[in-house]
Structure 1
Amino acid sequence: MMQIARVHSMTNGETIMASAEIEAPPERIFRALVGKEVEQWWGSAATYRMVDWSADLRVGGHWTVVVRTAGGRDLPASGEFLELEAQRRIVQTRVYAWDHPTLGRRQTTIAWLLEPTAKGTRLTICHGGFSGVSEAATEHAEGWGRVLAWLQAYVEAERLAAA
C-alpha cells in the first residue's frame, strides 16, 4: 500500500504555500506554534534548533526568536502579529536580524491557517514577500516542508505515546 505524502510545499518564486495533514486537533497545533513549547520541536540536530522564543500574543504584539545552527551560530529574527484568531489563524511579519544569504533583511509575511479535518488539522502556510528573490523563495519552501514535518512528527508521537 502506497502512503500519500502528508506534507507539501511549493513556490511560484514570489509566494510559498506549504501544508500538512496532522493528526491532532487545531487547538493542540495552535499551542505548539505560539507557546514556548515551539522550542521543543522546531529544528533538528542536522540543521538548526530554535533556542529562544518569546511572543506577546496579541495583534500588534511582537515576537522574537533565535535559532542556533548545527555549527553553533545564533541567527535571530523577529516580527509582529498582524492577525490572531485562536485555533484558526495567525498572520505575522518576519525579518532576520542578520544578513540572510538570499533574502537579506527583507520583511516577509507569514499566514498560518488551521482547518479541522476528520483526522485532525490541515495546517496551511502562505509566506509572501519574495518578489525578485526567487532563490530565497525556493530555499524557504524547502524549509517550510521541514518545519511542517517536524511539527507533524512531534504532535503525532505525543498522541501515540498517550494511546
Structure 2
Amino acid sequence: MTVQQPAGDFLKSEPGVDPILIEGLFRAAPERVFRAFTEPEEVSCWFLPRSGGLVSAEIDLRVGGRWCFVIERSAEKQVHFEGEYLAIEAPGRLEFSWRYVQEFADGTREATDTSRVCVTFTRAGAATRVHLRHEAIRTEDARRGVGSGWTRCFGYLVDFVSD
C-alpha cells in the first residue's frame, strides 16, 4: 500500500504570492522522476491541467531547447504552455521559462509575460523530494491558478511514478 501525500500539502507558499513553492515526496529514484518531467510521453501522463489531458507535448531537452504542451486545439484556436530550457543538470535540476499562449486562426497570438520555473530532484532514501519554484507571474489571480494547477499535477505525478 502506497502512502500518498495529501494534494493540499504540495503547496508550500501562501496562495497567490510570488514565488509559488510546490514540494512533494515521490516513491521513485530521482532519475525516474526527472524522466517524468523531460520525456513527452511521460509528461502527457501526469501534466493534466484540465480533464482529458494534453493534446500534445513536445520537448527539445537541451539548454536553449524549446518545449510546448498543447492543452486545447480547435479550428478557432490553440491553447498551450511554452518555454525554453535554461538549465539542465540531470537528474538533479531543471530550469525553464514559462508562458501561457493562445493562438487564433486569424494569426493573432496572446501570451502572458514570461515567468520562470526551477525544479530540483533530491534523493531522500528510496524516494525523491521534488521542490518546484515558479516565479515572476504578474498577477495574484494568475499565481493562484498556477499554484492550484501545479498542486493538481503533483497529485497525478505521485500516482504516475509510484511503484
Q: TM-score, normalised by structure 1?
A: 0.80
Q: Unaligned 5+ residue runs, structure 1?
A: none
2:125 pairs with 1:145:
no
Measure how far apart 1:74 and its partner are. Answer: 4.6
- List 4+ stretches of structure 1 deviating above 2 A: 3-7
Contact 2:117 2:132 in 1 (8 A): yes
Give 1:32's aligned residue.
36
Q: How has the CA–CA distance of structure 1 residues 48 and 143 changed in structure 2, closer, same or farther, with 3 Å as cutoff?
A: farther
Q: Output one character per residue of 1:115-150: Cα deviation in whole Å (capped at 9) or x when no partner.
A: 10013100111000124x111111111111111111
Q: Unaligned 5+ residue runs, structure 2?
A: 104-110
Measure how far apart 1:54 and its partner are. Answer: 1.0
Q: Secondary structure at the match of 2:34?
A: helix
Q: CA separation in 2, counterparts of 1:33 and 1:59? A: 15
Contact 1:111 1:126 in 2 (8 A): yes
Q: CA separation in 2, counterparts of 1:154 and 1:26? A: 14
Compute the RMSD of aligned alpha carbons. 2.4
**% of aligned pairs identical?**
25
Q: TM-score, normalised by structure 2?
A: 0.80
Q: Output one character per residue of 1:36-78: Cα deviation in whole Å (capped at 9) or x when no partner.
A: 221122227x635122111111111111110139xxx852121
2:13 pairs with 1:8:
no
Q: CA separation in 1, counterparts of 2:5 and 2:58? A: 35
